[in-house]
A and B are shown apart, each in its own frame.
Chain A
Amino acid sequence: MIKNIYIKYTVVLSLLITSFSCTKLDFKPTDTIDALKAYRNIKDINLGVIGIYAILDNSAISSSATAADEVMLPTENTVGNTDAHRWLYNSGSGSVTSSYYTYYTAIDRINRVLAGIEVLTFPTADLPTKDLYLGELLALRAYCHFELLRNYASSYQNGALGVPYMKVSAIGYPARDPFETVIANAKADLAAAKALIPASFTDKTHITKIGVSAIQARLALYEKNWADAITYSTEVINAMPLATRALFPTIWTDAADHEVIWKLKRVATDSRTGDFFFRQSGGIVLYAPSFKLINTFDKVNDVRYAPYIKFDATRTGTKSQYLVNKYVGTTASPGMADVKLYRTGEMYLIRAEARAESTGDAAADLNALRTARITAYTNAAFADKAALIDAIYTERFKELAFEGHRFFDLKRRNLPVQRLPEDAINTFGAVTLSPGQAQYAFPIPALEISVNKNTVQNPNY
């Protein structure tokens, strides 16, 4: 009888233990969305579009500033990696190669959302929204490839090494498309986008119809397609006039967005735009405005000077008294500023340059811009085309300082990067970067070269 009790206990306990040990093996992830759930309807497409804007950043601003002559390396920057500023970068330097990944990741996201749209059937009521998203996606695809081209093309000429133009999401190992192929594809995407985005869509934190025109204008400038440049910049200028002198500074505090065509919205949880120039932690000026830039300004009358450059007399010793003021943000969130990608000011300069190169009153555009920026400005006259181009370039230097243009502008005309001696005190001789040097074009990342046997590096690396 006692024996029976034992057996009962054993059986009961065994059953207890085995019963809660089920055999379930078909778990599904709870924290990730799989491919089937990613794009189900128009709302999901919207999330996908937002996911693309989310990855776009200000890396073009930092890489262009680092390699160009608009910033100088102050002695107090003992904490940053300053190799890029000294033109010591190569294919292993993340500072100039990381954009390659950023933009292709964005492009892959674009192509995935496009593929998602393709397989969906939308209710009629959603069709206009679908067209808007489709237009934004195509414009974004063109923009991203264009940014890649600005950064990584061996030069901006037909036949030059460009970047692969990705029209579908694919794991592959493509060769580099030549410069003109990228331009042609981007133009096609932009044209298609323009037809899809309604003029009524005016959210400046997204690409609008006017935004497409602005991208087309800049693309035409790099293509040296002067007629297109004039056409598209005029479209923008007519739709989006320059900010007044009084309102101009409010652009940079994000209090207003006059003449801003497209900007990347930044909120408190994002990484700080201004951190590249000024590190909040420790209060270190990493890069200061170059004296070369400061010297070009009429400090009293130019309304651009104060929002662009800050002078702080309380900074002493090895500390830089000049600071980049464009991205200081607000007291509440220092260093946080929207990233202005396209402004009307640039459109005037594009049209001026295109007119100077072809036909039209380039001086009028230049003077119009200067009048909008400089108090009591009297129109200037220019002796010849060279003087005009030179003046336009100086104006671009000032107007578009720290907005990701200078290095690429110099590259457009094969001009050397030339620093003043006082800007080069900490660069150990990095004073001139001539077009013949490898670093004149940013390198394709080493990893890409090692895994993609079909690609080639830019010359001289």
Chain B
Amino acid sequence: MRKTLLFRHPSNYSLASRTLLTIKLTSLILLLMCMQVSAAGFAQQKISVTAIDMSIKNLLKTIEKQTDYRFVYSNQTLSIDKKVSLELHEVSLDEAMKSIWKETNITYALKENNLVVIYSGVKSQKDIVISGKVVDETGMPLPGVSVKVSGLTIATVTDLNGSYTIRVADGNANLEFSYLGYVKQVTTVGNKNVINVTLKADTRNLQEVIVTGYTNYTREQSASAVTLVTAEKINDVAGLTVDQILQGRVPGMSVISSSGQPGQNAAVVIRGIGSVNGSSSPLYILDGTPIEGGYFQTINPADIENVTVLKDASAKALYGSRGSNGVIVITSKKGKAGQLVVHYTGQYGFSNLTEPKSRMMNTTQRLAFEEGVGVDFGRNIGPGWTYSPKNPTYINGTAAFKTNADRILDSLRNINIDWRDQFYQRSKFYEQQVSVSGGNENFKFYNSLNYYKQDGIAKRTGLERYSLKSNVDFKSNKFSGNMNLTLGYSNSSFTEGEGSTSVGTAMSAVYYALPYENPYAPDGTLIHPGNKAQYNILDLREGSQALERLFNSSSKTDQLKSIIGTSLAYQILPELKISTSAGIDYRNSTDQTYINPDSYYGSRSVSNTLGGKGRFGEGTRRNFNLISTTGLTYADKFNEKHDIEISGFYEYVYNNYNSFSFTGFGLDDRLPGTPAAITNSAAFLPNVGGSKTTSALASFMSVARYTFDNKYTLTGSYRYDGSTKVAPKNKWHGFYSGGANWNVKNEDFLKNSDFISVLSLRASYGISASPFSSSGDYLYLATFGSTTYGGLAGVRPTTAGNVDFDWEYVEEFNTGFDLALFKSRRLRLSADYYNKITSNMFIDQPPSATSGFSLLSLSSGKMRNRGVEFDISGDVLKTKDFTWTLGVNAGYNKNVILHVTDIADEYPDGDTRILKVGLPYGTYLAPQWAGVNPQTGEAQYYNIDGSITTVYNLNEQNVTKSGSFYPSFTGGFNTSINYKGLSASALFSFVSDVMRWNNEDFYNENQRYASSNQSVRMLEDRWMKPGDIKTLQRYDIPRNFTSKDIEDASFLRLRNVNVSYAIPPSLLEKTKVVKTLKFFVQGQNLLTWTKWRGLDPENNNVYGRFQYPNARTYTAGLSANF
């Protein structure tokens, strides 16, 4: 035997070294490099040799020098002295061999590692050469597919074009085609010479691997409750951020968007709100790097391959002190080995305002209302009474007065402004994306570019985004790694004063402005409070004031975000791997506000526009987050039955945050929108501010799993975390979890069951902690801050501190099962029960006023979340061409506060809620509304003893019967139909058992604010005379906050409908360029069923108060592969 035989050296080291080079250069010229390297990687080894009377032995040596082929032969086989003459130029191995061995009975076989075995070919005459092509379902060639003769070691792989050639002994042989991510296929050769194969993607495999960020276990080996959301549900959804897209997809996860502002994040809560004053948002991990929640506007959902939501302790405890609110692991797309794929998606669309339940008065109604109030109560709330023929002033007035009054009312009647048209718009949406991906077995890449522009339905709002994604995965023998880069730049424009009840903001003016307020003079001039003296104005100009502000101010944020992650692993021994990874999440946000000095809004000398000449402000917020993880993983399987995996890691997470801002006044109107316009003087004193904070977390952790006989699995983890955020004496703490899984399906009694195809039971218990919000880096310290008096600096205590400040510990028990029925797993069910207790909960207990602080940060609360969740899906109909699937998921969570503080069992939580032992967090506190007295029209309230009174006394009547603003029942259901190239899908999401304070009615149905516009109910549903059964009381009775204001905010929403048609591949083949082509149309928020009276029931605030509503969006687009 030759020495070369013993040395198993890597077959393609030249490629590997190029790969390493590439890693270094990736960050510079990634896109170009990837293509170049991949092209080089596919180069075949061609043979060129000229031999004149050369011995075969020397000839083979010459070829060995030229190429990576190594020849193995026995001296007996080869007549060494035989000499040949031939000339080969750039030929394949096969051709070369045929030329060399022609006229002999010698043949060869190509083995792995480019070994060429040369042997006496007595049988060779019987060999059959099989060739063919392997493609995927879309017709794309699959390179790198392993083609193997069953039971033998003869094997080859497909080339760049998916083609292969293999020799088999006879027609009885079976060929196995296998490729990662695809279903293995076995074909009998028979008498065929050409065997073409189409491999089907194995989507089930994806479902079966549970990625926790530290471990990848199969579902049968995992004790965790997790939910996976795959790419097709995330990609192409128009106008939503990643977190919003997950709404209705994950049982037990409530996703509620906070605003209709494009790019705005959602409030995501997993398994009930777990903290009162700490953070309740989950931890987000993108390709191993933790990323900030709430900043998704620069992340392109189309780059996401899948999202895994970790919900139970056995998975969350891996994240220790950061994991208790659940972990959302986002995996971005990776390249697939094979031909270069260029994918294009483009979509266009528009958005509209949804229709609210409450209506405001139009001019006719408004004038009638003003007159009615004047007649009945003598109150003058506008010209409808001032100039009314029923007004004593009119009756006793001169003829000239009467003529004038009639003329005024007539002209007012001709105006009818729907203020929604003034502040909202039909807005455009536009998105383009190109991605390039490809690679081979050892090197894969995915790159994409995306441009996205979405205008908001509120005027002057919108989001523009550029994003770039680049993923590179490489491996070479024992060495493997990857590099992920996400770069995004976004520019958002906002409307100011959103969610405020004050006059002069766009969102409230829609309601407040009077319908007979015409904002414009006939010459097109906007008549606002600043110039209205020149006109005869009878309304309050509340709409025009807001319009004036809208047109003359701006509020923008641009954001640069980059997420870079890299990981490397080296397989030291077959069982032992060392790995290290590092990630950076960097964000720089720049906020800019501008008020035009020439406008009325900018001309008033108030603190907002000091000196009355506009304002320009700019601020930057920079967040830097770094993570580094290094560790060893030992995995082994012995005696066929014992499967063990143990890992140990050290991890360090570092965060620093800087902000800086300035605001300048006295703008030069010739220099709009730049700080150069600012005047620095005593009259225009600029403001400067900023902050810096740093925090870090160091952790030692270990994870272990043991599986016996593929039936019984035990998992465990321990993590020891040290943080800068708790009081020094509590700095280090350990977190652990344990879990078990019983794969019942693998038991003998089920193994052969066709009915039950999957059954596994799991249970876990563990402890983790909730992360601190970024604002709370030093909550344990008593602090002093600055203040001013008369322009002089002073010092004041700011927080009381708490030397005992500790983590919020969350213990959680989970048990559940996975079940799939029928051979093809047509019906799939997954269900879990959990019991989660937060102890040491942060309570911002208000102390006695005499202590000088409004809040003390205590770690004394205790709260429980307990619930069930399930996910069921099935293929209702499944034939060759037609599939109809249905899926439902839901989570029910019951929250209760178990302990508040040692001195109090309850305390007010804001002005309308209470934190009280025995009640859910977020419980409203309000007097019960007892309706309007039909005889007197007075407002009635329930006393605590149940009696009815007309005397309002908040403190005596406050009760907790109005529910909580955290939903207890959420979920979604979806259905999809596929027929050949046509597919249609719909997603409904629902949020139920949730109450919210509708503060809009308080302003729109209140005599105190009646000179602004009111809802139609104030005219039509108000008590007027004895016997009236009405919703609203007599006009002169003050309106008070009661249970009537706490409305049911449950909703069911047709979240997304998508219809697409893929052109059959057979038609596209002729183009030779386009491989797949799909057209689609979709709609967002098409229908909403709710009792909520405000603009939008989807709102994560404690009140509905003139917030930016979510839009209804329609888009159409196409996607194509080249």
Contact = CB atoms under 8 A, between A and B. Distances in A.
A360 interface: no
Contacts of A23: 652, 698
Contacts of B502: 79, 281
A115 B538 CA distance: 60
Interface string B662-698: 0000000000000000000001010100011111101
A269 B10 CA distance: 73
Contacts of A90: 953-955
B785 interface: yes
Interface residues of B, number: 107
Contacts of B695: 27
Interface in A401-453: 426, 428, 445-448, 450-453
A164 interface: yes
A53 B794 contact: yes
A44 interface: yes
Given A107-B852, A447-B846, A35 B568 contact: no
A92 B630 contact: no
B852 A108 contact: yes
B846 A451 contact: yes
A52 B792 CA distance: 12
B856 interface: yes
Interface in A30-89: 30-35, 37-38, 44, 47-55, 75-76, 78-79, 82-83, 86, 88
Contact of B533 (A314, A426, A446): A314
A318 interface: yes
A151 to B, nearest CB: 12
A266 B792 CA distance: 11
A420 to B, nearest CB: 17
A281 B528 CA distance: 12
B795 A7 contact: no
Among A314, A426, A450, A451, max chain B CB count under 10 A is at A451
A49 B792 CA distance: 11
B573 to A, nearest CB: 13
A74 to B, nearest CB: 11
Contacts of A266: 790
A47 B790 CA distance: 12
Nearest to A107: B852
B724 interface: yes
B851 A108 contact: yes
Contact of B582 (A21, A22, A269, A270): A21
A300 interface: no
Interface stretch (A166-174, A237-245, A344-352, A387-395): A166-174
Given A10-B568, A446-B955, A455-B848, A25 B723 contact: yes
B580 A13 contact: yes
Interface stretch (B237-245, B733-741, B1007-1015): B1007-1015
Contact of A318 (B381, B542, B578, B693): B381
B10 A2 contact: yes
Contacts of A78: 540, 1008-1012
A200 interface: no
A50 B696 contact: no
B902 to A, nearest CB: 12
Interface stretch (B115-123, B413-421, B603-611): B603-611
Contacts of B272: none
A33 B784 contact: yes
Among A50, A91, A266, max chain B CB count under 10 A is at A50
Interface stretch (A98-106, A178-186, A363-371): A98-106
A100 B652 contact: no
A26 interface: yes
Nearest to B386: A317
A30 B692 contact: yes
Nearest to B1036: A428
Given A51-B794, A334-B605, A171 B954 contact: no
A332 B683 contact: yes
B1117 interface: no
A329 to B, nearest CB: 9
B731 interface: yes
Is chain A's binding surface mostly helix, strand, loop or mixed? loop
Given A82-B1008, A281-B504, A10 B479 contact: yes
B797 A18 contact: no
A381 interface: no
B623 to A, nearest CB: 15
A78 B607 CA distance: 23
Contact of B848 (A27, A172, A317): A172
Interface stretch (B556-564, B903-911, B1047-1055): B903-911
B152 interface: no
Contacts of B698: 23, 25
Contacts of B10: 2
Nearest to A333: B605
Contacts of A334: 604-606
B529 A282 contact: yes
A447 B907 CA distance: 7
Interface in A182-224: 205
A49 B794 contact: yes
B578 A281 contact: no
A38 B1011 contact: no
B204 interface: no
Interface string B776-787: 011001111101
B790 A53 contact: yes
Nearest to A457: B955
B955 A92 contact: yes
Interface string A379-401: 00000000000000000000000
A14 interface: yes
A172 B850 contact: yes
B891 interface: no
A25 B722 contact: yes
B149 to A, nearest CB: 31
A95 B782 CA distance: 29
B789 A51 contact: yes
Interface string A1-33: 010011101100110011011111111011111
A79 B503 contact: yes
Interface string B17-35: 1001000000000000000
A355 interface: no
Contacts of A332: 605, 611, 683
Given A21-B628, A76-B1011, A108-B851, A27 B696 contact: yes
B545 A282 contact: yes
A109 interface: yes
Contacts of B566: 17
B81 to A, nearest CB: 35
Interface string B751-794: 00000000000000000000000000110011111011111111
A310 interface: no
Contacts of B793: 47, 50
B264 interface: no
Contacts of A91: 955
B777 A29 contact: yes
A171 B652 contact: no
Nearest to A171: B851
A318 B1011 contact: yes
B1038 interface: yes
Interface of B: 9-10, 13, 16-17, 20, 379-382, 386, 476-479, 502-504, 529, 533, 538, 540, 542, 545, 566, 568, 570, 578, 580-582, 604-607, 610-611, 626, 628, 630, 652, 654, 683, 685, 687, 691-696, 698, 722-724, 731, 777-778, 781-785, 787-801, 845-854, 856, 903-904, 906-908, 911, 952-955, 1008-1012, 1036-1038
26 contacts: A2-B9, A21-B582, A25-B724, A30-B692, A32-B785, A51-B787, A54-B787, A55-B796, A78-B1009, A82-B1008, A88-B952, A88-B1038, A104-B849, A171-B856, A172-B848, A174-B848, A268-B610, A269-B607, A272-B607, A282-B504, A317-B386, A332-B611, A450-B908, A451-B845, A451-B903, A451-B904
**6 A-B pairs with least C-beta separation:** A108-B852, A50-B794, A265-B790, A21-B628, A32-B783, A51-B794
